[in-house]
Structures are given as structure tokens and as C-alpha cells.
Amino acid sequence: MDMSGMQMSSLDLKSQTDIQGKKDGDLSILKSPVQNILTNELLSTLQIFNDSIHGHIEIHPLCVKIIDTPQFQRLRSIKQVGGTYFVYPGASHNRFEHSIGVCHLAGQFVSALRVGQSELNITDDDVLCVQIAGLCHDLGHGPFSHMFDGRFLPSIGNETRHESLSVKMFHHLVKENELDTDFRLHFKEDLNTNKKFITELLDTKDENRGWPYEGRDQKKRFLYEIVANKRNGIDVDKWDYFARDCHMLGIANSFDHTRCMKSARVVEVEVQKQDKEQDEKQICFRDKEVQNLYEMFHTRVRLYREAYEHCVGNTIEIMISEAMKMADKFIKIPGKNNKTFSISGTLEDMDAYENLTDSIVDQIMWSTDKNLEEAKKILINVKKRKLYVCLGHALLPQKMTSKEAMQKYVKKLKENGSTLCESDVTIDVVKLNYGMKDKNPIDEVRFYKKDDPDKATKIYKREVSFLLPDTFEEHQIRFYCKTTEAEKLKKAREALDDWCKEQKCSLIKGS
């Protein structure tokens, strides 16, 4: 198997010794998360990947089977950070290597809980399902990752998210590659229940109206917090992309996920649901980890501020998204039974969606279809760095939608005598937060103390530091102009100054 950037070799691990001891959360005493769920007959099929972030990692044979499919290999052609790659030359990594990293961390995390707390009854099937979910959680991403479901699809009135597409692609992958036989070989319990559990991990649901899952009962709800944690945002998906993106972008990462993982423990927590109190098992952390977790969310904000929401990167994503919207109906992507689909139409056919990657930009550029001329012009301007001009961004004291901002700005343009209209400008609302909008995510985390590990407590911000923020979200509204004509730009900036005065907000000038 060609890993392109990741070295891999077979390894005979039969001679390795069994676990010699047992300490809570001590990963070093494990043979490995993967070795522990393989029979002696299958240990020789275990394979090792040399990952740039996690070093030499062991991948379960069933996960390797999934990796060696066209549907997973497709992730090699989808940039992890989308338009940010046009700003940071080193950010050339793809969803492919990130997904393998999440698979590795998912296995480490669930195995650490298993070793530390045997009473949780975590089975081999549980471990493997969580690993597969980590591996497959991003199968549904489209071109340039979040640009596709965050910009392009909403621009055509489609609110589909990549999580639901990951579920569809997972089913498609298993069916097309006839992997049910391999699944039966490695799973000990009911195949359909385990597959259901995997898809539930890929697209978690709201628990406020009762237990929504069929793959596992409520005693194992903590397993739903490992890959994608909707309760507080602390999960292995973030741990990998924080480490990987910081490394590739050249941004310092001050968060230590290994320390956090070793302190994790499942504790029963009293929660309020459906107007009544009940106990549920949640992943909690040692009280002394609270500073480290605040640092995790601070790292998230820094990555969004300096990279994911970078002004130039966002400009390029806006332009590519506009080009794709113009080309949508004219592009023909082959799918099932020799049918062809538009870009947005591929969502209904996973055979077609499998062919939709970052290469769509080249497909538009190479096309001789005259209907694509306007889209091609935009993409040529991206390549020539002739980008929309950022007039500046405003920090608003109150929330405002891009539609509301546009209406008020167009009004100011007219009042200032500008000939620019709505189609000549673009407004982008940028939300920077700790992952839970205006809430402090640490309020949703529970901690335990060394001398009372089975009691979950809350740690309030005032008990941690007076230097922590009082506000956990800010909205910026960025204004772009599509023309480079000096006089029109002057009028656009004057209108923006007046807009900001009317909204009583500060303006940070753009380019």
C-alpha cells in the first residue's frame, strides 16, 4: 500500500510480552490499544504508520482495509485547512493524514479509560468502533473542507453538513468494497449494532429529549464523547488538528493532549434533563488540568484568528465558492449508472460525490464550456493574487447577520453617491469563540480530585484565574469590494466609515 508521506511496514508482534502491571491512565504499560484487541493470528497483519505528529502508530487491520479504499483515499485530495493554504505555504496537509491521526488518538483514549477503569466494561468491539469512527469522521468533507459546507452549500440554500455526508460515505464505502466480511471477522458482537454505533459517533445527536442512540445503551454514553464531543468540545478530533495544524502552519501549540488524556476518568454526574435530575457517565478530568483545558480553548481561538479566519484566506475561499456557484449547473460529474451530476447534485449520489475534491477548481479552469467563462475569470484572479479588496472589519457590540449588515451598508453607499451596488461588495461575518458560541465550555466540564476520584465537581472561572476572559465570543464583520478602481474604493471606504459610526463600533482598516 502506497502511503505517500507516511511510511508503513508489517510487524510481527507475537513475541511481545503481555501487560506487566496496571496503573490508572498509564498508557506506557499497554502493549498498545490495537494489539490488545487482536488475536495472535491477526497480530502479524498489524501495520505501522510513521506519522509526522504522533510518530510510529499502529493501525488495526480493519482500519487499514478502510484506508485502502478509493473513498478514503479521496481525502488525500482535500486540503485540511482549505483556503488557509493560500496564506501559509506549509499548510499543505490533507484530511487523509488528519483522519489517521484521529483514529490513533481515539484508540489511545478509549484504551486508557479501559485500563484505568475495568468496571466500565469497555469491550474490544467498543474500542474498534471508536477507532473506526475516528478514522471515518471526515469522509463527508467536500472541496476545501469547511469552505464547501460552510460557504458554497449555504450560498445555494443547502444546509447539509459534512457530518451527515460522512455517514452516507461510510455506508457507501462499506458496500462498494464489500467490507462486511472483514467487519464480521473482527467484530465479536452483532455487526449491524456496531455499524449503527459507528455512524452515531460520526453524527452525534441531541440528548435533551431522551436517549437518542441505538448502537450503545446509556451506560456507555461516555463513548460518544471521544471522537466528537458536543457537550463541551473536548475530543480527539480537536487534539489532532490542534497539534497537526500548529505544526504545519508554524504556530506554537501550548496545549498538551497527552497529559489531558492520562488524567481522564469516567465519573457519574448529576444532570438536569427533561425537567428531572438523573445521573449519567461523563468523561471528567483531574482538577489540576483546568488550566491546560483553558489553554486548549485559547489555542482554538488563536488558530481561528490567525489561520482559519485569516482575512486573505477567507477572501480566497469566498472567490472560489462564488466560482463554484457559477459553475454548479454546468459541471458534469460522473456518478452511478453513468449518470452525471452538478456539483451540488453529487450530495444525492455518493459515487459522484466520491469524485468531488479540490480538483474541481482545475476542472473549471480546464473546461472549454463558454458557460464557465465568468467562473474561470475568478479562479484566474485567485491564481494571479488579484483578490477582492478588504476594506476593513468592524467589531460589533451586538450580533448582526451578513444580510442585515449588507442592507445597511448598501444604503450608506447610495447616500455617499457611490455607483457600487450589492453585487460589487461582499460581507463576511467572522465568529471567534471557545467553541460554544458565547458560553464558557469549561462550565460544561466536570473535574475530580485526587483524594475523591468518584465525585464530579464543577470548577468556576473565578477559582482558576482573574486573567481569564469575561467574554467568550466576538463577531467581526469584514467588508470586501470586488473592484480595484481607486475612486470607487474611496467611496466604499467612506461609506464604511459612516456605517461604523452609525453602529457605534470600531473599524480596523483593511488593505
Catalytic residue among 60, 162, 186, 393: 162
Angle at 202 between CA 196 and CA 203, to 5 degrees: 95
Handedness of CA 138, 142, 147, 152 (dihedral sign): negative
| DSSP code per residue over 27-76 | GGGSS-TTGGGS-HHHHTT-EEEEETTTEEEEE-HHHHHHHTSHHHHGGG
| DSSP code per residue over 132-143 | HHHHHTTTT-BT
**Residue 215 corresponds to which amino acid?**
G
What span, in angstroms and rounded, lies between the C-alpha atoms of 337 and 354? Answer: 14
Exposed e or buried b per residue across 59-89, where buried means at least 16 C-beta atoms within 10 angstroms of its C-beta:
bbbbbbbbbebebbebbebbbbbbbbbbbbe
What span, in angstroms and rounded, lies between the C-alpha atoms of 475 and 473? Answer: 7
Contact at 8 Å (CB) between 344 and 142?
no
Q: How far is CA 115 from CA 73, 106, 126, 183, in A?
A: 33, 14, 13, 25
**Residue 47 corresponds to which amino acid?**
Q
Task: State which H helix or E strand residue 389 sits in.
Answer: strand 389-395
Cα 82 to chain centroid, rounded: 12
Beta strands, E only, 400-451: 425-433, 447-449
What span, in angstroms and rounded, lies between the C-alpha atoms of 260 and 289? Answer: 7
Residues 6+ apart with CB under 8 A from 488: 418, 419, 420, 424, 481
What span, in angstroms and rounded, lies between the C-alpha atoms of 111 and 333? Answer: 42
Residues 6+ apart with CB under 8 A from 85: 79, 91, 92
162 is catalytic: yes
Residue among 60, 52, 58 nearest 94 (CA): 52
| Paired sense of beta strands 276-286 and 447-449, if any | parallel
Q: Which residues are catalytic?
A: 162
